[in-house]
Amino acid sequence: MRRKITEKTVEYIERPSDNLIHLKIKEGRYKGVIYTYGKVTFNEEDGLLKFNFNFVVNEGNSRYNAIQLKEDKRFKNFIAKVLIFVFESEMREGLEQQYKDKHGEDKSYPITPYDEELYLEEDDEHTETNTKENM
């Protein structure tokens, strides 16, 4: 089963106790899981941009506890794809705002960014990311 990653996949939540922004998964097998990204780094290997990230699972759900999720390759692949979606969304919004600031609010944004849709496959083991579980 394929599940498209969209703005409805996760929501940002803030906890007054730590002043961090966390993500809560709103659908699928990880629904209800709350996690936080830590340091994200980028490097180029063989002409490809790769990234590494740290994360902490703050709360599991009824199916997986936090310890299981830290070791779950599918979960790591899923949150890597969510991170790519967040980067692309933020970049797109920034470019659109720059264009509107320069050309006026009534102008439409003429550039279509690279728009490969991100999906989570139920057996998605092929995504290669390097992750570190502790921040």
Model pTM above 0.85: no
Alpha-carbon gap, residue 53 to 40, rounded angstroms: 4
Alpha-carbon gap, residue 69 to 58, rounded angstroms: 10
- Residues for the chain: how many in total? 135
C-alpha dihedral (56, 62, 65, 68), degrees to nearest 10: -100
- What is the chain's pLDDT, residue by residue, as a tens digit (135 residues)? 567 888 899 999 998 888 888 999 999 999 999 999 999 999 998 988 888 999 999 999 999 999 999 999 999 999 999 999 888 887 776 666 666 677 776 655 555 544 444 444 444 433 344 444 444
Predicted confidence at residue 133, as pLDDT, reads 43
